[in-house]
Structures are given as C-alpha cells and as structure tokens.
Amino acid sequence: EAEVAQSPRYKITEKSQAVAFWCDPISGHATLYWYRQILGQGPELLVQFQDESVVDDSQLPKDRFSAERLKGVDSTLKIQPAELGDSAMYLCASSPRTSGSGVAKNIQYFGAGTRLSVL
Amino acid sequence: KQEVTQIPAALSVPEGENLVLNCSFTDSAIYNLQWFRQDPGKGLTSLLLIQSSQREQTSGRLNASLDKSSGRSTLYIAASQPGDSATYLCAPGGATNKLIFGTGTLLAVQP
C-alpha cells in the first residue's frame, strides 16, 4: 500500500541551528500538507500546496519557517533558526487533487512524522 | 475562527463495551468532517469522512454522525477491543480541505 514518506524520523538540534524535513507524498497526489503537532494537542496546518503552488500558509511563521515543493512532488520544510518552542512532531500529509467530485479527494493520508527536539 | 472541542479528553473502558466520542465545532460552514486515529508517536490514520450533506458514515464497528447545524459529531465504537486503544481526533474541513483539529480523546480499552 502506498504511503507518505518522511525523513528523518527523529531530529535533535540546538537552538539557533537550521533544520530541514523532507516529505514524499503518495504518487499522483496533487495536494500536500505540512502540520505541526505539539504534545497533547491536535495537528495545526502550517502550509498547504496544490502541485507546486501554495494554497494556504497563513499559520506558517515566515520569519523562520520556509517550505517548498519545486516540482510539485516531494517537499522540504525548513526552520532557521530553530527555537525551543519549535519542539514538536512535524507531520506531512497528501490527498488527491481537490478539484472534481468524489469523497476520495478529501481524505488526507499522513506520514509517520518527524519528531523534533530543540535543546 | 473555527474551534473544535472533544469530550471526554480521556476514556477508559473494559473490553466489549460500546462507546461514544463527542466532537463540537463553532463554525457550521464546513464541507466535511473527518475522524482520525493516532497511535502514540505515530502519524494519523483516517477512519471516516462525512460530507456536509450526509448525516452518518459507517465502517465496520465504527459509525460517525454529523449534525452540521448544531456543530456536533459523534463517533460510535461498537464492541470495543484492546486494539482500539489510541487517540481519536475529529477535524472539520473547509473549502480547500483545510482541517482544524480538536485536541483528541485518549481511549484505553482494558482487556
């Protein structure tokens, strides 16, 4: 069964360092999402791509976070510089193209996530 | 701004019990609502998706209902099993499929 791939699974870094996370969505999925999940809370959307275009980045802290999906396939989320409060699980999800009919396009498939600890 | 509340925050039941998890949301202008399961330290698994025009969806022992006008959804789990132990998250979705998550219900099913 196709899965969303994320790497690394775990990342430990010191504050003020740069970190990057990678996500490879399910093949053919046009929409890609990055979420941040703080322990004990639900995930919060950071950025949503449709192909290579940003659909929503309203909750992305743009002074330190950046995301790209250059060829509309895999994506990278970067934090520079990392702060203590960035410690969280970073989840990537994908879904089929949002246009058109049918329920399947709305279902989001999640990767296993990257657990970030900032010391 | 959409706010999602899940009650109870935690629940412990003996194996075999039927149970109900509750979700309420403040903005009824949603396109769908999804229920997810999350195991400790793992990603999310989609359980059920209800379109805004639907009242309920069923998958195996799971049944989810949606009352859009009152801003409520419930997830019913029949004949619970220890393997059902996980955190259950509800998430109403908007026009762009943006999901707003609740904080979840942590379920423990005791053998």
Give mean pLDDT, residues B66-70: 95
Q: What is the DSSP string of A21-82?
A: EEEE--TT--EEEEEEE-TTS--EEEEEEETTEEEE-TTS-TTTEEEE-TTSS-EEEEESS-
Considering only the beta carbons, identify the residue of B46, B97, B99 that sits closest to A109. Answer: B46
Question: Rounded to a whole number, what is the distance in Å from the CA of A91 to chain B's nearest CA?
Answer: 7
What does the pLDDT look like over A42-52, one tens digit per residue?
A: 999 999 999 99
Q: Between β-strands B105-110 and B10-14, what pairing exists: parallel, antiparallel or unpaired?
A: parallel
Q: CB–CB of A55/A107 below 8 Å?
A: no
CA max distance for chain A: 46
Transcribe chain B into DSSP letters.
---EEEE-SEEEEETT--EEEEEEES----SEEEEEEE-TTS-EEEEEEEETT-SEEEETTEEEEEETTTTEEEEEE-S--GGG-EEEEEEEE-TT--B-----EEEEEE-
Minimal CA separation from B23 to chain A, in Å? 13
The Cβ-side half-sphere exposure at A87, using a 13 Å CA radius, reads 11
> Using the beta-carbon criterion (under 8 Å), do B44 and A107 form an inter-chain contact?
no
Query: Which of A110, A114, A115, A117 is the best mutation test for B, with the most CBs of B within 10 A?
Result: A110
Interchain CB contact of A3 with B (< 8 Å): no
Residues of chain A in contact with residue B23, where contact means CB-CB under 8 angstroms, are none
pLDDT band at B46 (very low <50, low <70, confident <90, very high): very high
**Inter-chain contact B98–A115, Cβ cutoff 8 Å?**
no
For A14-65, write each residue's pLDDT tens digit.
999 999 999 999 998 999 999 999 998 999 999 999 999 999 999 999 999 9
Interface touch B89/A42, C-beta < 8 Å = yes
Burial A35-48 (b: 16+ CB within 10 A, else e): bbbeeeebbbbbbb
How deeply is A70 buried, as exposed, middle or buried, from its count of CB atoms within 10 A (0-12, 13-18, 19+)?
A: exposed
pLDDT of residue A103: 52
The whole-chain average pLDDT of chain B stands at 95
* Residue B46 near residue A107 (C-beta atoms within 8 A): yes
